[in-house]
A and B are shown apart, each in its own frame.
Chain A
Amino acid sequence: MWDYSDKVKEHFFTPKNAGAVVGANAIGEVGSISCGDALRLTLKVNPETEIIEESGFQTFGCGSAIASSSVLTEIIKGMTIDEALKVTNQDIANELDGLPPEKMHCSVMGREALQAAVANYRGVEWKDDHEEGALICKCFAIDAVMIEEMIWANKLRTVEDVTNFTKAGGGCAACHEDIEAILEKVLAEKGEKFDATASTAPVEKVEVEKVKTPLTSVQRIKKIEEVLTSLRPQLMADGGDVELVEVVGNTVYVNMTGACNGCQMAAMTIAGIQQRLMEVLGEFLRVVPASEMKKLVNIEGAGHA
């Protein structure tokens, strides 16, 4: 079965705020019954302060759908609706100590229900702009719809193209056959033919020049910044970002934000950054999330290299 965190289990077995709020003035209903998930979120918002005073959920769905709903109602209670709208699906997943990639859509459903409820409160219509397909790449949680859209939008022709643009297939590579099938289908719709030996579409990559001469520590940090900047577009395409926090000896501390933060793939992303840094700087470097900094060094006492 799924490897659910204790937090997920806790919220599933003893859900908080289950049931509809009596006298609710904000109701959001989202879901997809064919996928087996549907959620009704009911809120009581104070019209003076716009603070969410009560929240309740009713969910038709699996363990993680129920846990996501429960944790969402806890997170937003006491927030103003503007604050609540800033809650991302990643926040929901983080609060649950992570969700398996196949189950991330449960947290997305929570966020959408919230948006729908706020829209209902404000008397506007809420439109779901998010479509979902079968999960293709399990390493990076990329679904078929996303891959199809990217193939259309960017004229992708090979599996490598798809990996460059979506990351799908960049991990264990087990999904390459499925990606080929999607390519075949989309290309056929476009009146083209899939050719496994075609050359890959050009990716606009900002290449950072490799270091040839010894650097001063300022130059070195600048160079590290430069590499991180060159990698940011890719990270941002995945809804994430990276920020340089500190360099101590050969350890580079970074802040991973957005979708990268806390996601199971953060470790793989970090490994990729580390690889690129070493290639450019020509020295051994270790990339570590800044959150681990305190555990590793005493900042005040550490002599900066």
Chain B
Amino acid sequence: MPDIYLDNNATTKVDSAVVDVMIPFFLEQYGNPSSIHKFADGVAKALKKARGQVQELIGAEHDSEIIFTSCGTESDSTAILSAIKAQPNRKEIITTTVEHAAILNLCDNLEKEGYTIHRLPVDKCGRLNVEAYKKMLSDQVAIVSVMWANNETGTIFPVVEMAEMANAAGVMFHTDAVQAVGKIPMMLQDTKIDMLSISGHKLHAPKGIGVLYLRRGTRYRSLLRGGHQERGRRAGTENTASIVGLGKACEMAMEHMEYENVQVKAMRDKLEQGIIATVPNSFITGDLNNRLPNTTDIAFEYIEGEAILMLLNKAGIAASSGSACTSGSLEPSHVMRAMQIPYTAAHGTIRFSFSRYNTMSEVDEVLKVMPDIVAVLRKLSPYWDSVTNEPVANPEAAFTPTFK
């Protein structure tokens, strides 16, 4: 069986139809879109078409609200830095404890520069307390940035509702929708969301292309100044091939929206239910009632994630983990910590993320190998009794290493 890719929240395969529409912009229509000659003839038109395709997918009112950037991270940085620059008297930012590093590290940095950062906590299911959020909104807040869906657990946040509240309080609202766009339907023109980030490589477009949606009328300060590209809002010669590719990818995501939410979801559901049924001491993390259709994050107690990934990889299965070891840090994922998942489980979390390229037979294959992989590692674990095949009685007390 060919290798099975279940790490689509990390990045996706570029659809071959996307590659096809990109090629001419490398080999024939490689002119600078600003130039007046035949090498650039069709380029401006192609960019406009792509802008329309993105607009359609997210339900923006105008295509001029779409600004192409170099990645999701740039879109996130641009949004927050623009908000604080445009409103120099507002020194507070509201975000969450479970954002992507693209937001968290930027906010940590702004904190050092004197900004007050409010990081909304989540409960054990990864949910925000919307009432607590409402109380934080004030005329001191420059911007709220809350992700639409979490990359690790797939938990969806009520950003439409939260944007309404921010708007009522006169506060700008940004959402990192990198994981949500293309997986769940959205109609931005009916919301009060001011800014939204997209990353191409999460929806079968290439890496290194992103979008910042900027609602018309939202006060804005460019991050990159220079040429007049993107109406002066993001200088730098356009990445034409990737923009065209992203447009095509958005069109295809729109076509597959129902497939994603029915068939892809069915694969995900079968996988997680199968694992929970066959692997003892495993549980799903996040808000089970409110998740992306393609994501499941499963904690396997008393074993460590990197070891699981290495055995999965040997079986030809690609997934990812929230364990400390995979990132080279010492702490397990901040998302697991925020949800207060105990360390003995947090280190053993595995995220499986699907795309429309996966199949049910792949799910069966994973279900075939998963119980054995976990059993092999538990046999090595000081927390596990391999005779009774359950955790040793009172595991935390039975094994008490000299802690640091």
Contact = CB atoms under 8 A, between A and B. Distances in A.
A32 B404 CA distance: 6
A12 B381 contact: no
Interface residues on B, range: 35 or more
Nearest to A101: B328
Interface in B304-333: 304-307, 309-311, 313-314, 323-326, 328-332
A30 B401 contact: yes
Contacts of B323: 36, 62
What is the interface of chain A mostly: helix, strand, loop, or mixed?
A: mixed
Contacts of A126: 402
A158 interface: no
Contacts of B329: 134-135
B344 interface: yes
Interface string B9-49: 00000000000000000000000000000000000000000
Contacts of B401: 29-33, 38-40
Nearest to A58: B382
A36 B379 contact: no
A29 B382 contact: yes
B380 A18 contact: yes
A274 to B, nearest CB: 30
A284 interface: no
B79 interface: no
Given A61-B307, A62-B307, A134-B330, A40 B399 contact: yes
Interface in A128-150: 128, 130-135
A35 interface: yes
Contact of A40 (B324, B347, B382): B382
B399 to A, nearest CB: 6
Interface centre among A30, A66, A116, A130 (most CB of B within 10 A): A66
Interface centre among B307, B311, B399 (most CB of A within 10 A): B307
B302 A60 contact: yes
A29 B400 contact: yes
A62 B314 CA distance: 15
B328 A135 contact: yes
A152 interface: no
Given A12-B310, A13-B314, A132-B330, A33 B381 contact: no
Contacts of B402: 29-31, 112, 116, 126-128
Interface centre among B347, B382, B403 (most CB of A within 10 A): B382
Contacts of A36: 304-305, 323-325, 330, 332, 343, 347
Contact of A128 (B302, B310, B311, B404): B404
Contacts of A33: 343-344, 347, 401, 403
Nearest to B381: A60
B239 interface: no
Interface in A45-78: 57-66
Contacts of A239: none
A37 B323 CA distance: 11
B292 interface: no
Interface in B352-404: 379-383, 386, 399-404
Contacts of A39: 382, 401
Contacts of B400: 29
B111 to A, nearest CB: 12
A38 B380 contact: no
B330 A62 contact: no
B383 A131 contact: no
A194 B292 CA distance: 46
Given A19-B386, A60-B381, A128-B404, A34 B307 contact: no
Contacts of B325: 36-37, 61-65, 103
Contacts of B332: 34, 36
Contacts of B302: 60
Contact of A60 (B310, B324, B331, B382): B382
A102 interface: yes
Contacts of B404: 32, 35, 128, 130-132
B244 interface: no
B105 to A, nearest CB: 11
B382 A38 contact: yes
A133 B382 CA distance: 24
A59 B328 contact: no
A29 B399 contact: yes
Contacts of B326: 1, 62
A66 B310 CA distance: 12
A62 B306 contact: yes
B371 to A, nearest CB: 18
A15 interface: yes
Interface in A72-110: 102-103
A127 B403 CA distance: 10
B304 A18 contact: no
A18 B379 contact: yes
B303 A60 contact: yes
Contacts of A135: 328-330
A289 B381 CA distance: 40
Contact of B304 (A19, A29, A60): A60
A59 B313 CA distance: 20
A35 B311 CA distance: 21
B208 to A, nearest CB: 21
Contacts of B305: 36, 62
A57 B383 CA distance: 12
Given A59-B382, A63-B306, A127-B402, 4 more contacts: A19-B380, A30-B401, A31-B403, A59-B381
27 contacts: A1-B310, A19-B379, A29-B382, A29-B399, A30-B402, A31-B401, A31-B402, A32-B404, A33-B347, A33-B401, A34-B332, A35-B331, A35-B404, A36-B304, A36-B325, A37-B325, A39-B382, A59-B382, A60-B304, A60-B347, A62-B323, A62-B326, A63-B325, A132-B330, A133-B330, A134-B331, A135-B329
Interface of B: 302-307, 309-311, 313-314, 323-326, 328-332, 343-344, 347, 379-383, 386, 399-404
